[in-house]
Amino acid sequence: MPLRPGRCYRHFGTPPYTRLEYIKSNPPVLVPKFDLGNPRGDFNTRLMLVVEKPGQIRANALEAARQHANKFLSSKLGDSNYFMRIAVYPHHILRENKMMAMAGADRLQDGMRLAFGTPIGRAARMRRGQPVIILFVDEKNVEVAKEALERAASKLPLPTRIIVEKIR
């Protein structure tokens, strides 16, 4: 089985760390726009990229998936022929206990003593069956939209599937 990106932070076993009033340096959200394309368009098909296993998706993976899908859709369909929404928000703050890796580091650091960690990034916690990206297009553009969601799924650390639904 090939290794997928983000395997260090894919699974979670601790409670979410989201209370920003207690966090001294909260990392920024790396996703600048959650809605892309034409929000006022009259589309008749909805596609959803849904995760199949619970886990975490880092904010930089979400941003990479958003950019990849948006660039493909924009070049193939034009900005007025789709509406894409990132359906999750990276609330969870990831922490890391940084260790020194050099000669004499054992005398300088405390190892696991008080190893709470410092904030390094954000992640969205996902449940099984929860949509990551929701995409609205016309029925004639479904194949292009599926290709865009497959490209976005290649940037995510969790296994996903695409659901296609007719609206109206």
Instruction: For 75-99, write each residue's pLDDT tens digit.
Output: 999 999 999 999 999 999 988 877 7
pLDDT in tens, 1-46: 454 555 667 777 778 888 888 888 888 899 999 999 999 989 999 9
pLDDT at residue 1, rounded to an integer: 47
Q: Which residues pair with 137 in a beta bridge?
A: 45
Percentage of the residues of the chain whose pLDDT score is greater than 90: 63
Domains in the chain, start-ordered, CATH in brackets? 20-166 (3.90.1170.10)
With beta carbons less than 8 A apart as the criterion, state whether 68 and 17 touch: no
d(CA 56, CA 93): 11
pTM of the predicted structure, to 2 decimals = 0.85
What was the pLDDT predicted at 122? 92
Q: Are 109 and 98 in contact (CB under 8 A)?
A: no
Q: Where are the alpha helices (DSSP H) in 34-141?
A: 59-76
Residues in Cβ contact with 11 at an 8 Å cutoff, skipping those fewer than 6 apart: 55, 56
Look at residue 106 in the predicted model and tell me its pLDDT: 61
Average pLDDT of the residues of the chain? 88
Whether residue 108 is predicted with pLDDT greater than 70 in this model: the reply is: no
The closest of 118, 138, 111, 132 to 25, measured between CA atoms, is 118
Question: Between 128 and 10, whose confidence is greater?
Answer: 128
